[in-house]
Amino acid sequence: MRIGVVTFPGSLDDGDAARAARIAGAEAVRLWHGDPDLHRVDAVVLPGGFSYGDYLRCGAIARFAPVMESIIDAARGGLPVLGICNGFQVLCEAHLLPGALTRNQHLHFRNRDQWLRVEATNTAWTNRFAPGQEILIPVKNGEGCFVADQRTLDQLEGEGRVIARYIRGNPNGSQRDIAGITNEAGNVVGIMPHPEHAVEALTGPSLDGLGFFTSVLRSLAGASADGQLAGGQQR
Amino acid sequence: MTTQPETATSGAEAARGVPNQPPAAAAPITKPSGFAATDVLVNEFEEGPDTVQRAAATPDELQPHADLGLKDDEYTRIREILGRRPTASELAMYSIMWSEHCSYKSSKVHLREFVKKVPKNTRMLAGIGENAGVVQISEKIAVTFKVESHNHPSYVEPYQGAATGVGGIVRDILAMGARPVAVMDPLRFGAADHPDTARVLPGVVAGIGGYGNCLGLPNIGGEIVFDPCYQGNPLVNALSIGVLPVERLQKKEATGVGNVVVLLGARTGRDGIGGVSVLASATFDEEAEQRRPSVQVGDPFMEKLLIESCLELYDAGLVSGIQDLGGAGLTCALTETAAAAGTGMRVWLERVPLREASMSPTEILASESQERMLLIVTPENLDKVLAVAEKWGVWATAIGEVTAASADGSPGRLLITWNDHVVVDVPPGSLADDGPVYERPMREPSDLILLQADRAETLPRPANAEELRETVLRMIASPNLCDKTWVTEQYDRYVLGNTVLAQPEDSGVLRIDEETGLGVALSVDGNGRFARLDPYEGAKLALAEAYRNVAVTGAEPIAVTDCLNFGSPEDPAVMWQFAQAVNGLADGCQQLGTPVTGGNVSFYNQTGAAAIHPTPVVGVMGIFDDVTRRIPMGFPAPAKAGGDLLYLLGETRLELSGSEWAWVTHGHLGGRPPKVDLAAEQALGALMGRASKAGLVSAAHDLSDGGLSQVLVESCLRYNVGAKVTLPEDGTSPFVHLFSESAGRAVVAVPRGHEKAFTALAAEHGVPCTPIGVTSEETALEVRGQFSIPLDELRTAFSATLRDLFGGTAELVSRHAEATEAEPTAVRSVTLEITDPQAPGGPIGNA
């Protein structure tokens, strides 16, 4: 399986996302912002960082990068796309996901190990978690406060599209403690905390982040492989 | 008039830049206004620029050398060197390059101690005098690291001052050919509760975070120390470390006649003019705030692009020489690269891409605009270099070429024109290497004898167990000992995915090689109070502490960098402190076998007559053959019934002078600092290295500020594991055991079953090893016969201080819930309109 990781100017966690994909057993393929060719990847990660310096508004410029034109089209066709932190912001700016990520309520950048509860396990990126599973993943952002209008929030909740919620403390003031959401089809996921930083015992607070990457491998393997992998679902 | 070049000249191709950034347009020439530093420099517009020709014709014209910080005799020497009066541009260049900050004129004679006493070492690939020292850590890999000050700018403008401090040190690392991989920040502020600290600290922390986070460099450690002596002179030191393949080491020499001089990175603006001369090389007065224009303004995004383009250029072998532009800007980069090679240089100044078209040649030369590098490239590689720059969206402009040395073999000249006016014609070495050197008068501070006689060992101490308990709680809540999470969680410590340990651990530990597990540990430490009481011993203590912090993680300490923060060198007492500290550090490094690879001197940390405590900050780097064997500081949850065994390593003496206890409970500073025994530090380090390799230790924490009490609290709170401690009954009182700051000590946790092997190893190394208790499943810290404090109570005392002082980051979950209940939908929709203008009123998201 080939997981593409996009590098925008100012992307920072692109190497980490590629490493996480490799550890999960995928082939990591680096995609360049100026190249619209997706190089036959099976899934795409939009990594964390400060694409284009986060000038104008986080993700607002990246959304117009040539590679994004292709990703937006492919995502509408079902390509699994995971946006982490800045990648989540890009997905919102690209209108692949609803809502917006605004300045943390306390106005500070915050980096800490954050407990999350996985709420939706029917997406391309979360199917290897158990519903309600509590996971520990680093969060680090200055503009991670998720906001949307009441109707959108109700709709997200009603359709089971909140994929993870902050528990034991909300690090940025996100509405309804939302840490991540998915689109209607479940192939596009945006998450503010960084699963790619929780894939090795040596450097992360847990191995919980790996589940996002193994999930997409399972969803790509399709129904036939589903049965074989099911035994390994619970970590 | 300043315009972008239209045509190629002398093999140097026309400027190219980012397509969407138009070249600076020609603008009417007007005299800029408002900048104190600039006004002194700029008087060249009314009759055109001050040229060499004009300077020769008007030898008697009065020049503002004193306003630029040049002494009369220094000015006379410049006239001798040039055989005429300098032009306005030349005068500015000499004033910058001969400033204390650039020339090290007061410190040079003392810094020779580091070279004289450098221990034998085969790892060093580059040392003092380079942008940063380079140390080989394996056959193929080297690391480079350095700590630098950005004190004055950070006081004047905390956010930008601190941000550009990070940017500057990162470019030093980059210039050596390395990929920067982490930063650390030793910080010192005035009293924690002083109103101005509430201005400076949050700005500095946000600036460090804002720049470092956006650059994608993990912040893995540092220090935050409060003391009233830093009230008007906070210290913002920044350390960076980078990694390079040995063969990628870069040079700064501008070699190869005909090679092209390329300016890479941000455009040049009017920020930071006079930064090193006016700002960094003078004491503060009441008008410090007006010096804000001398502070540079940073753009971390540009620096990130600069890093990536430089690394791509190195890997493609396209760079013959490189130098970063920091303090002293283009002036420093041009003169140092030419002087290092002995060549000359010809520069067309009008080619420099500008932010403001009306900048004069002097301003262009003096600007300290950030995110710029100077490259020397061969003419045939120029197109490839420009293509790499264009790929990353960075300006790259050929601004000059390397010229030959003189026919008689003497070094070449630096010839700079601006629209065909010759504004500079100087021997580059006269600026870079031949600056004045002073042997300043030195005198022991007159109050030192009295200060040393006023010992803290005689102060009243807690009289009973209840008072001891209260002292523990009071101490851990004091600003210097309390939890620093409020600061450190504003820094990204995860990015790049190689951070093995970061603050609050004793050292930052990085994995360097994913295949082999090769890694490094880094710690920066300093204690201004100890150095005030005895600068020689104080510097050694700073070295010993950093060395110990590295060693207790299991790493082998191998190299040192330093940032020497002092008051005015014109004060003989300060100069004496400086000389003592340098000697102490040089002697210490010689004894430990860890060479000083580079560093920085920061003088004039002084407001009026009040200097800061002498504050040598020492960074020690160690290496791991396999970083998976690093030892963390937190007690692990007990694996076996009865818990891990706790041992105190080293010897506890009655040493309270200069201690945190004396300061917090009595506001006292006096006596002599703790004794330094570097042989004992080495023995402790060797023991910890062996114990780490043998896997005998589950946790280790160095003892320093706050003594044993502090270490027990921190190691318990880290993973919420209690401890039952029995203090040795050896005639030393429980209070002294808990709060003495004797050096050369650490607490270790040893899993049951390993105790015999560990104590035998300690005996073999001659390290005193005293059993002091066990870790416990009960969540309390109990000191038998004295007190027991629940961990929750400790945590409350430990973690509230900075949050209460600087506010803001209490848990949001409760606050948010309240806000949601109190202010329902209306508030949310308002927020939405502001933050999502793309979809006003309509449904958001259409996946």
Q: What is the pLDDT of residues B123-171, one digit of tens each?
A: 988 888 888 999 999 999 999 999 999 999 999 999 999 999 999 999 9
Residue whose entry in the numeric block shows the structure tokens 């964390």? A48
**How much of chain B exceeds pLDDT 90, in percent?**
80
Chain A interface includes B491 (CB < 8 A): yes
By C-alpha distance, the chain A residue nearest B213 is A49
Structure confidence at residue B121 as a pLDDT band (50, 70, 90): confident
**SS3 at position B189:** strand
| A106–chain B Cβ distance below 8 A for any pair | yes
Average pLDDT taken over every residue of chain A: 94
Residue B174 confidence (pLDDT) above 90: yes
| Pick among B312, B492, B505, B802 to test the A interface (most A CBs inside 10 A) | B492
Residue B30, pLDDT above cutoff 50: no
Distance CA(B518)–CA(B243), nearest Å, equals 12
The residue ranking higher by pLDDT, B811 or B6, is B811
A50 contact B CB<8A = yes
Q: ipTM value, please give it.
A: 0.94
Q: Is the pLDDT at B76 greater than 60, yes or no?
A: yes
Are B548 and B651 in contact, with CB atoms under 8 Å apart? no
**pLDDT confidence of B360, banded at 50, 70, 90?**
very high
So what's the pLDDT on residue B129? 80
Q: What value does the mean pLDDT take over residues B575-583?
A: 98
- Point out the residues of chain A with pLDDT beneath 50: 223-235
pLDDT at B295: 76
Chain centroid offset of residue B182 CA: 11
Chain A residues touching B497 at Cβ < 8 A? 13, 15-16, 19, 196-197, 200, 203
- Pairwise CA distance, residues B323 & B321, whole Å: 7
pLDDT of B292 above 80: no
Write out chain A residues lying below 8 Å of B811, CB-based. Answer: 169-170
pLDDT at B378 over 50: yes
Instruction: Summarize pLDDT for B659-679 with one digit per residue, the tens.
Output: 999 999 999 999 999 999 999
**Residue B469 burial (C-beta neighbours within 10 Å; 0-12, 13-18, 19+):** middle
Query: What is the model's pLDDT at position B407?
Result: 82
Of the pLDDT bands very low, low, confident and very high (cuts 50, 70, 90), residue B338 is very high
pLDDT of residue B428: 95
What digits encode the pLDDT tens for the residues B750-774? 999 999 999 999 999 999 999 999 9
Match 């403690």 to its residue by tokens.
A177
pLDDT tens per residue across span A28-42: 999 999 999 999 999
Q: Which domains does chain B have, with CATH numbers?
A: 1-97+250-435 (3.90.650.10), 451-572+593-803 (3.30.1330.10), 811-835 (no CATH)
Is residue B626 helix, strand or coil? coil
Residue B597: pLDDT over 90: yes
Query: Closest approach of chain A CAs to the CA of B305, in angstroms?
Result: 7
If phi > 0 it is left, if psi is from -120 to 50 it is alpha, else beta; for residue B3 that is: beta
Q: Do A203 and B498 touch (CB under 8 A)?
A: yes
| Strand boundaries in A47-149, DSSP class E | 81-84, 100-102, 110-118, 134-141, 145-147
pLDDT of residue A222: 79
pLDDT of the residue at B265:
97
pLDDT at B61 over 60: yes
> What's the CATH number for A2-230?
3.40.50.880
**pLDDT higher than threshold 80 for residue B838:** no
**B213–A102: do the CB atoms touch at under 8 Å?**
no
Computed over its alpha carbons, how large is the radius of gyration of chain B?
28
Q: pLDDT, tens digit, for every residue of B404-452?
A: 988 888 889 999 999 999 999 999 999 999 999 999 999 999 999 999 9
Distance from CA of A142 to the nearest CA of B (A): 9
Average pLDDT, chain B: 89
Sign of CA dihedral A69, A71, A77, A83: negative
Q: Does A9 touch chain B (CB under 8 A)?
A: yes
Say what percent of chain A tops pLDDT 90. Answer: 93
Cβ-defined contact of A169 to B392 (cutoff 8 Å): no
